[in-house]
């Protein structure tokens, strides 16, 4: 009973304006991700393949990713795929909780991460794989093929790490 009461108090303490701002950010990230993926999938539908040479460092190719970010943990077995998908749902719920818990820059970074993650989660459920298409390379070294959602996830995580390193260090120094 106590958890239910504290959960209700937590939900009541979230300002409506904050929820609207977060929803707008999530919607923009999701929209950008969907438009980019639909554009690439439309090329495949019309041409049968996506293999666009942009320059020596950047190409557009289509790779279907059944794993998590950058193709890690890719499995062919549906039971493992479904388990990973459910794990992603749980992580998304935790990220949403953290975004609502904080009232600073961290909350926006969690929302950026969540926006990208929801874009990829949609694809995992709808297509049973995530379309990745951005190929960065130098000479014969190719980075993992990724998509717009991965950019938001990675940027959010990197910025969250930097915030933790620099702002926590500043807070610790102020306490001394």
Contacts of 110 (CB under 8 A, 6+ apart): 95, 96, 98, 99, 102, 156, 160
Q: What is the pLDDT of residue 81?
A: 81
Active-site residue, selected from the candidate residues 33, 123, 135, 150: 150
Q: Is residue 11 part of a domain?
A: no
Assigned domain for 50 exists? no
Q: What is the pLDDT of residue 70?
A: 53
Q: Is 140 an active-site residue?
A: no
Q: Is residue 65 part of a domain?
A: yes
Structural domain includes residue 21: no
pLDDT of residue 8: 47
pLDDT along the chain (176 residues), means of 10: 50 78 97 97 89 87 78 65 90 96 92 97 94 90 89 96 82 54
Token output for 55 = 């320059």
- Scanning 13-141, the segments in alpha helix (DSSP H) are 16-47, 78-101, 105-126
The 3-state DSSP composition of the chain as helix, strand, coil percent (nearest 5) reads 70, 15, 20
Domain enclosing residue 71, as ranges: 58-176
- The answer to whether 74 and 65 are in contact (CB under 8 A) is yes
- On whether residue 165 sits in a domain, the answer given is yes
Is 76 tagged catalytic?
no
pTM: 0.82
Residue 86 in domain: yes
Structural domain includes residue 28: no
Q: Are strands 141-142 and 130-138 parallel, antiparallel or unpaired?
A: antiparallel
| The total number of structural domains that make up the chain | 1
User: Residue 134: what are its φ and ψ, rounded to 5°?
Assistant: -95, 120
Which of the following is catalytic: 33, 123, 132, 135? Answer: 132
Whether 19 is in a domain gets the answer no
pLDDT for residue 1: 45
Distance CA 23, CA 14 (A): 13
pLDDT at 94: 97
């Amino acid at each position: 009973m106590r958890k239910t009461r504290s959960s209700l108090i937590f939900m009541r303490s979230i300002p409506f304006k904050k929820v609207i701002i977060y929803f707008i950010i999530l919607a923009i990230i999701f929209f950008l991700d969907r438009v980019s993926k639909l554009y690439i999938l439309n090329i495949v539908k019309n041409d049968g393949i996506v293999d666009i040479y942009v320059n020596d460092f950047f190409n557009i190719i289509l790779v279907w990713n059944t794993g998590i970010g950058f193709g890690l943990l890719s499995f062919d077995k549906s039971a493992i795929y479904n388990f990973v998908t459910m794990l992603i749902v749980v992580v998304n719920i935790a990220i949403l909780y953290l975004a609502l818990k904080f009232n600073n820059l961290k909350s926006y970074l969690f929302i950026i991460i969540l926006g990208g993650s929801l874009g990829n989660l949609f694809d995992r459920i709808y297509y049973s794989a995530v379309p990745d298409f951005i190929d960065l390379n130098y000479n014969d070294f190719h980075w993992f093929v990724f998509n717009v959602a991965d950019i938001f996830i990675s940027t959010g995580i990197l910025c969250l790490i930097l915030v933790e390193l620099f702002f926590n260090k500043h807070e610790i120094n102020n306490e001394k």
